[in-house]
Structure 1
Amino acid sequence: MRKIVLLLACLLSFNTVANTSELLQRVTESKLALSELQSSINNQSLHYQTKLEQSLKEVEALRAQAESIQRASDEKVISYEQLSERVRAWREQDNYQKMIVQSFFEQQNLALSAYKNANGDFTLSPSVFNTLQHELINKLSPNWQEKPVVNDKGEVVDFRVLNLGPLALAYNSELAQGGLLTNQINQTLPNIIPNIYSASHIEHLARFADTGSGFVTFDPTLGNAEKLLHKQDSVISHIQKGGVWALPILFFGLISLLATLIKGYQLLRIPKPSHDFIEKVKQTDVNNFAMSVQFKGAEKDLVDIAVNNPVSEYRDDQLVAFLMQYRYRVENYLGVVATSAAIAPLLGLLGTVSGMINTFMMMNTFGTGDAATVSGGISEALVTTELGLIVAIPSLIMSALLNRKAKSLNAKLEANAIKLSKLELQSQ
């Protein structure tokens, strides 16, 4: 029995080993088949991807060809209005290019007659661009050239001229003259700007002309400083810019000045009322009041009234009447200064309105392209305002000072008169 069991166990173990070896062999065969399948799939994917890229390129090429065909088709059926619009745009571009070239030729003082057709119209030809190329090369590498120049004495003399961009320098070694050049309006020859280059500046310019290196004085404003130098107005020309409204402003300013001088001189000559007036009156002999010299001006008149009249309402009336006359005499013509101070800015404002009206009329007639056509009205508006303020501010200050002086004199004299009205000073 035991032997039979052992025999069966041996048979079972042999079958298990046989099945395991068969299973491993099948797994190995499956892995190999899977690897071959993956390799095949990868190769097919690369092949299809390459074909897809080629197809996309062909589609893009066909799309571009279709767009060109469609554009050509659209050009064939373009409307007359579109053609006219294109022609107009081309003409505008051509005119703009001609304008730029003409402006360059005018700035460089180059003749335009050689580049005009039979009708006298400027045309863009190869010779024009050759000239432009030559000028631009000269601009990049400037050289001294002999040219006629008008010197500071008004004489036409040949100078060595060097153009440095927008700047132009001239030097004459024989005359030892030189300086910056400027092109005046309606003049074909350039002028040397006078009173700019001193002897030391000319020496530096001579060294620069001989050696090619040195210090050169130039105008960084490109001519604007010279214009400002020549546009310095005198007082009369500045007032004339104010137009007709400057005359009444100056008239009131003159009246205010005369009234200020007269009243100022008058107020300075008036004796100041003394603070110890009543004490002096009490200490003075009544019988010698009329001959006393220590009382002057209005105080003397007050003492005379008090001496000649006893304490009564009549004396008070006399004192009040004198104070009213004195106030009128002191404050007379002070209103002229205050009136001038009030009227002058109003006249300036009136001139401002008039100038702006003229400005808008010029703008309506000539447009806003040229500033010179509207500058006259603006000058009138600003100058009249300036003159009005120049007259009003000093007049207002002097009016306040004169009024304060007059009120101080009146107040002190009235205080002395009130104190004097109760004193018994009648002479015996």
Structure 2
Amino acid sequence: MIHLLKSGGFLMLPLLLCSFISLTLIIERTIFWLRIRREKDRSLVYRVLDLADKGLWDDIRLAVRGSNNFIIRILINGILHRDYSMSMAMESAASDELRKMRRFMGVLETIVTVAPLLGILGTVVGIIHSFDMLGAKGIGDPQAVTGGIAQALITTAAGLSISILTLLPCNYFNACAEASALSIEKYATSLEITYEKRANAGEIRPQKEKQVSGGR
């Protein structure tokens, strides 16, 4: 490993830094999504929607106590602000949750793009150095020239390896975030429909209307 770092030249240092950052973020994101999956409780989400359909708001609060499910947090935020703007409250909470899910993705995507470019740059620098040697020594020592080109290709191989090994988990994390966004939209819409159905049936009166009628 140390031999490859020395052979690849000074551009192996930023490539090594990219690999370290990529590995660290991949581990962090993997732990994050494992925790999300562990806390996922679809039956509790359906229970909240069922209780909301019956208007049992206090029971919802008891049912979700201790839950760390991100969908539950969004639904509860909407329920707490149901008398004002349920949809905007859930939209704000969903934005916060999705921001957490997409954290560091820009860094990983940058590494996917930059690593191979650094590798190609290292190869170009190495080839330039090899041709300088060819101009200085002529063709009397071809092994020095070909050896320099072979060493120059090390940076390209390293850059491509880092990019490929970062791209796969990066795409997976993005897919998880997209799937979570669809789930949020699905359950938030269900809660809104349930609440509007009760409002249209006259079972719910907006908070502002209650205050006006109470002041008469």
**1:342 and 2:110 are equivalent in the alignment:** no
Corresponding residue for 2:160?
389
Corresponding residue for 1:300?
72
Deviations 1:80-138 (A, max 9, x none): xxxxxxxxxxxxxxxxxxxxxxxxxxxxxxxxxxxxxxxxxxxxxxxxxxxxxxxxxxx
Unaligned runs of 5+ in 1: 1-234
What is the alpha-carbon distance in structure 1 between the residues aligned to residue 186 and residue 150 of structure 2? Answer: 54
Q: Alignment partner of 2:10: what SS?
A: helix
Corresponding residue for 1:282?
50
Stretches (4+) displaced over 4 A: none
Q: Where does 1:117-196 land on structure 2 (aligned, <5 Å)?
A: none
1:276 is displaced (CA, Å) by 7.8
- Contact 2:49 2:190 (8 Å CA) reproduced: no
1:343 is displaced (CA, Å) by 0.5
Corresponding residue for 1:256?
22
Corresponding residue for 2:7?
241
Q: Where does 1:29-428 land on structure 2 (aligned, <5 Å)?
A: 235-270=1-36, 271-272=39-40, 274=42, 277-278=45-46, 280-283=48-51, 285-293=56-64, 295-310=67-82, 312=84, 314-424=85-195
Bigger proportion of residues as strand: 1
1:283 is displaced (CA, Å) by 4.2
1:299 is displaced (CA, Å) by 2.6
What is the alpha-carbon distance in structure 2 between the residues aligned to residue 306 and residue 363 of structure 1? Answer: 71
What is the alpha-carbon distance in structure 1 between the residues aligned to residue 29 and residue 50 of structure 2? Answer: 33
1:306 is displaced (CA, Å) by 3.4
CA RMSD, 1 decimal: 2.3
Q: Which has the larger radius of gyration?
A: 1
1:293 is displaced (CA, Å) by 3.9
Unaligned runs of 5+ in 2: 199-203, 205-216
- Contact 2:48 2:63 (8 Å CA) reproduced: no
Deviations 1:291-344 (A, max 9, x none): 2248542233223223323365x2211111111111111101012111111101
- Contact 1:349 1:385 (8 Å CA) reproduced: yes
What is the alpha-carbon distance in structure 2 between the residues aligned to residue 396 and residue 273 of structure 1? Answer: 29
What is the alpha-carbon distance in structure 1 between the residues aligned to residue 32 and residue 5 of structure 2? Answer: 32
1:274 is displaced (CA, Å) by 2.4
Deviations 1:168-223 (A, max 9, x none): xxxxxxxxxxxxxxxxxxxxxxxxxxxxxxxxxxxxxxxxxxxxxxxxxxxxxxxx
What is the alpha-carbon distance in structure 2 between the residues aligned to residue 412 and residue 311 of structure 1? Answer: 24
Q: Alignment partner of 1:281: what SS?
A: helix
Counterpart amino acid of residue 89 in structure 2:
Q
1:418 is displaced (CA, Å) by 1.6
What is the alpha-carbon distance in structure 2 between the residues aligned to residue 397 and residue 307 of structure 1? Answer: 38
Counterpart amino acid of residue 237 in structure 1:
H
TM-score by length of 1: 0.42
1:277 is displaced (CA, Å) by 3.0
1:421 is displaced (CA, Å) by 2.1
Higher RCO (C-alpha under 8 Å, 6+ residues apart)? 2
- Contact 2:116 2:159 (8 Å CA) reproduced: yes
TM-score by length of 2: 0.79
Number of residue pairs aligned between Structure 1 and Structure 2: 191
